[in-house]
Each structure stands twice: as C-alpha cells, then as structure tokens.
Amino acid sequence: MSAPAGTKRWIRPLPERLINKIAAGEVIERPAAVVKELVENALDADATRIEIIVEKSGSKLIKIVDNGCGIPESQIEIAFSRHATSKISDFSDLDRIGSYGFRGEALPSIASVSRTRMVSRPPDAQLGTEILYEGGVLRSKQPLASAVGTIIEVENLFFNTPARRKFLKAETTESRHISRLATALAIGRFDVGFSYSLNGRTIFSLPPGGTLTERVTALLAQGKALIPVAGESGPIKVEGLVGQPELAQAGRWSQFIFINGRYITSTTLSHALAAGYGEMLPKGNYPLGAILITVNPEEVDVNVHPTKTEVRLSRERDIHDAVYHLVKQALRSAEVVPVFSPASQKEPQTHSAHTLVRGPEPSGHNMRIPGLGQIRTGDSTAAVEFFRSVSESPRMVQVDTATGEIIEPKTPAVGVAPASNDLPASLDGIRAVGRFGDLYLMFQAGSDLYIVDQHTAHERVLYEEMLRRIDREGIVSQHLLLPVQVELTPELMSVFEEAEAILNKSGFIVGHFGGRTINIEGVPSVLAKKSPETMTRRILEDIGGLRKAGFDAKKAIAQSVACRAAVMSGDRLGDQEAVALVTSLLNCENKFSCPHGRPTFIRITKTDLDRQFGRG
C-alpha cells in the first residue's frame, strides 16, 4: 500500500524470513521444483541410490532418501542459511560450475514455505542429526539413530503462502510435472539407482550401474528399439538415443536434453533434434529421445535463472548444428524402414473388393508420371543393394491356375521370368507382384513384401529433384499460351513478394501486374496439366503455412510443388512407370518418407503373415 504524499520512505533491510519467502517464489515454482532441488543435492553428495516418494502431487509430502555423504551435526543448521553452500567458494568458480547446485538458496527457500524435516548422518558419525523447520522457523534439532546418508521430508508445501498454493494446477498436472522431472533426473544420471513412487504406487525402480540404453529404454520406450546417437562434432560430444519416427508425439514430453549432466529446456536444441529427422516427422510431432551433451563448462552459463533449467551457451549455433548433424547421421545409418504392425486378432477383420492379383492392364489406361522424364533415375544398383541388405534371396513359386497347386521352380528365383500378369521385374532380385487400390505398388524381396505408396513415393522423388535443380540450373518451365492474372489477398501478396525470386527459379515465370495482382506466364513442367491460377494460389498458401512452421522458402516451394504434381490415388501407372518410380525412390537421399513425414513404403514380413494366419 502506498504511503501518503510527503511521507518519508525509509530504506531498510528486509527480515531474513521475508527474504527467504521472496526467494522461494523464484526457486520453488511448483512441487516439481522441490523434487529437482533435493535430488540434485543428493547427486552432489555422491549418492548412488536415491528414492523419491511423493503424495498428493507433492502438496502433502515430498520425501527424498539418499545414501550420500551426509551433513555433519555442526553444519546441518548452516545448510539452511541463505547462500550457504559447499559447492563454490570463489568468484571464478562461476565460470566452471561442475555441481548441480551452487546458489545456496534451495533449502532455506523450501523450509520457509513448508514443514521440513531432515535427518542426516556422515559415514564417520555414530549418530545422525534430526532438524525440523516450520515456515522458516527452527523448531528442533537433536541426535537420532539413522543410516548413512540423508532423509528429507517436505510436508504441507505452501501452507503459509495461500496465494501460491491457490495458483497450483490440478493434482494430475502437478503430478505429471513431477513424473517428467523424475524421469529426466534418472536418465541424466543413469549410473545412479533411482526409485520413484507416487501416492503409494511405484512408478519405476531402477538399479545403479546400468547403461544409458537400458535406462532410456526402460523409461521411454519399453520393448522398443531405439537408435543410438554418438560422436563428436564441433565443440561438443554427444551420447544419446532417439526413437523411430513412428514413436514421435504431439508434445515434447518424451524429449530430454542435458548439458554436462544437467537437465535443461532449450527451444534451440529441441529444434536441432527435430531437424535431424528432416521430413520423416509428421507436422506438429516431436521425436522421442534423450540427448546428453558434453561441452567445456566455460562455454555454458548456468547462472541465468534460479531454477537452473535455462542456460546460456556461448556457441549456441555451433552446438545446434552439431546436434542436428549427429542425429541426422544416426538416422541415416540406421536405415529406418517402416514395418507393418499386424492388428490384434480380436479386432474385426475388414474385407476389400479389390484383388491382390491383377489381370492384364486395360489398354489406354496407362498414364505418364509427371516429371518422370526429368528425374535422374540412374541404374537400379541402389535399389538392388537396399533390398538385398534387408532380405534374403527371393524364392518364387508358380501356381497351376486349373488346379490351384503350387509348382516349385527348378531354377533359382532371380533368373525366372515373371508371369504375364505381373509387373516386369526390372530390378534384379526383386519381384514386382501387383497393385492394390490403384495407389499401392507391391514388390517381393526374399520373404518380405514391400508395399509402396505411389503418391508419397513420387512426392519424395519430385521434392529432392526440385531442391537439386533450384540450387543448380533451375526447373524446366512450361510457357502458357496466354498469360494469366491472379488477384491475391494482402497476406498472400506478402508471401509472394517474399518468395518471388525462388518461385522464378522453381519453374514459375511470374511477376507483379499491379496492385495485388500477379501475372503468370509459365509454371513448372510437372504442373503443366494443372490449372495455373489454382496451383499458384494453393502453392502460395502452402508456402505461407510452411514458413510459419519454420521451413525456408526453397524447401516450402519444393514441398508444395511436389505434393501438387505427384500422382494421386486412382492414377494407374504403367508397368515401366511403376518400376522406374520405385528405382528413383530408392536412389533418394531420404527414401523412407515423403516431405510431410508420411512413409513411402512399409515392409510386411513373413513372420507377420504367419502370425495372422495362426502359424506364429
């Protein structure tokens, strides 16, 4: 409340208890912050086992038990003094912090807004010491028999700050924050044993001495195969694991990033992790994984915020690029292939009117793939090597159409000519076996069946070819017989002005006509059969949306044009076109997904089929 005009306003030191309450508002944002501070104290005490017990989202009880070095009786009260710490002693220590804590604010802040009980015993002491604080006031201190290490119990959090307690989220929300933090702490120190229980239920119990792979798999992807990321690049060393693209989630809740063992939040490094997936992630999804970054401590400033979850990096861009390249390299080395997951046998089986075996192709129904003549298909070496790397040699059979009997061939499958009703097997060792629904192309390689989505496959091929040509000689244009004028909205006009130069390198011949009208004289040849007015407007809309999502203009244009020009469902490809498309796809840099993140093909193994037919 303001003092009356003319009243002298004296400057005076605040009481220690009030200082601690103010500090608690910065350090203890929510119950999860209490867990973080206390567990990090246990880690700084060299604990090898830490137990986290939480009741009622932390508002009732937070209990941390560790087997660390403990606190001597003579120092236990000092530990609850503001800015008292054993972790730094000199100004220069701030430039190379190696501990989790260093401010000396956590314990007095927690004790000032709760009922806090600590029992601690060093290895060289016969007894431990119990100390009890309530609302920042020392209530008792006495010797007590206890095991080596420290037990700290925080009860009735924010009991004396009702405004802070009122602004806590729902119990389920606060519990979710605590669970995420407990998971992060257990991943960051995978060498330490962790157990975590919530409301009497054990969430996880992990032994000490495990590997990073064991810890991350147990916590994030039980039963799933994760992709290791490791190496040195630029100023950093990286160790971690990331999930397959299909494990991506709508939020960042399964994404954990660490700097020198400290769990942090960083939109820059989170972007680097996602960028490493390229177009394999559907829009709005984030990869699952844990990335542990080691960097010179002098390159990191952790003294930015009292919670220490935000850090400042002196070479942030270099670290971003290093993480991006290492994740991208790991995914490329892993040859991520989407695999069909058979539905549960309890689910109802649906039947389609389409047949898996097609008859002779109707005459006059073939269509030329737009842009196929411009696509650098190369030979089929890459395709053959890819299939051979994941499959054994194919074993072909023939069927007597009169009796239905299977006739075993006497010669190896690779040399057998395809039946007349099959797509020509132009890729050595790979058998093209048919189509389904005028969208999917089917190939057999060994005992595996590969189903290719012709739209996403063609979209990927066109996208990569457009990027190459934009950077080099430009895209072939199709001139219009008569120029077309299109009036744009103000928003689309601003998108056009930003992207005009790249559009004209991408096969468009387009410019200003006056006001908000543009003049179109040509379009990329792959769009020659489309309406130039409609395509141009839609591509500008796509560019606007993709630019907001962080795409650069070149990739946004290439992605939009590729999507608009690719063959669609119902466009029936000729035999040679189908094989040429698959050959081109397997020569792409990222053959596994379209630019939007949808898979270009999936693999159905013989084991999957055997299981569906009760042979598993």
- Residue 17: count of CB within 10 angstroms of its CB: 14
- CATH fold group of domain 212-334: Ribosomal Protein S5; domain 2 (3.30.230)
pLDDT at 159 over 90: no
Query: Tokens representing 501?
Result: 């130069």
pLDDT at 40 over 80: yes
Residue 94 amino acid letter: L
Nearest 5°: the CA angle 598, 329, 379 is 70
Q: How many Cα atoms occupy the beta-carbon half-sphere of 49 within 13 Å?
A: 9
Burial, 365: exposed, middle or buried (Cβ in 10 Å; 0-12, 13-18, 19+)? exposed
CA distance 351 to 353: 7
Q: What is the pLDDT of residue 548?
A: 58
- Residue 530: count of CB within 10 angstroms of its CB: 16
What are the pLDDT digits (tens) for 124-155? 999 999 999 998 889 999 999 999 999 999 99
Q: Residue 192 — very low, low, confident or very high, per pLDDT cuts 50/70/90?
A: very high
Greatest mean pLDDT range, 277-286, 506-515, 534-543: 506-515
Choice among 183-187, 192-196, 547-551 with the minimum mean pLDDT: 547-551
CA distance 251 to 180: 13
Q: What is the mean pLDDT of residues 607-615?
A: 82
Q: What is the pLDDT of residue 338?
A: 56
What are the pLDDT digits (tens) for 324-379? 889 988 988 886 655 555 544 434 433 333 333 333 343 334 445 555 544 444 45
Q: What is the mean pLDDT of residues 269-276?
A: 86
pLDDT at 167 over 60: yes
pLDDT at 62 over 80: yes
Distance in angstroms between the alpha carbons of the first and the last residue of the chain: 77
Choice among 290-299, 420-429, 537-546 with the minimum mean pLDDT: 420-429
Q: Residue 488 — very low, low, confident or very high, per pLDDT cuts 50/70/90?
A: confident
What are the pLDDT digits (tens) for 458-478? 988 888 888 888 777 667 788
Task: Please report, for the chain, the start and end positions of each structural domain, with discontinuous segments joined by +.
Answer: 16-205, 212-334, 369-616
pLDDT at 441 over 80: yes
Sheet with 509-514: list strands edge to edge: 477-487, 517-524, 509-514
**Unique residue bearing structure tokens 């649906």:** 350
Q: What is the pLDDT of residue 6?
A: 61
From the candidate CATH numbers 3.40.50.2300, 3.40.50.300, 3.40.50.1110, 3.30.1540.20, the one assigned to the domain spanning 369-616: 3.30.1540.20
pTM of the predicted model as reported, rounded to 2 decimal places:
0.59
Choice among 204-213, 273-282, 495-504 with the minimum mean pLDDT: 273-282
pLDDT at 401 over 70: no
Q: Residue 223 — very low, low, confident or very high, per pLDDT cuts 50/70/90?
A: confident
The size of the chain, in residues, is 616
Q: What is the pLDDT of residue 549?
A: 57
- Residue 347: count of CB within 10 angstroms of its CB: 8
Q: Tell me the H-state helices in 276-336.
A: 316-334
pLDDT, greater one: 477 or 304: 477
Percent of the chain with pLDDT strictly greater than 90: 21
Q: Which CATH architecture has domain 16-205?
A: 2-Layer Sandwich (3.30)
Q: Residue 98 — very low, low, confident or very high, per pLDDT cuts 50/70/90?
A: low
Burial, 410: exposed, middle or buried (Cβ in 10 Å; 0-12, 13-18, 19+)? exposed
Which of helix, strand or coil describes residue 502? helix
Query: Tokens representing 393?
Result: 């040699």
Burial, 201: exposed, middle or buried (Cβ in 10 Å; 0-12, 13-18, 19+)? exposed
Strand 149-155 versus strand 61-66 pairing type: antiparallel
Q: What is the pLDDT of residue 212?
A: 94
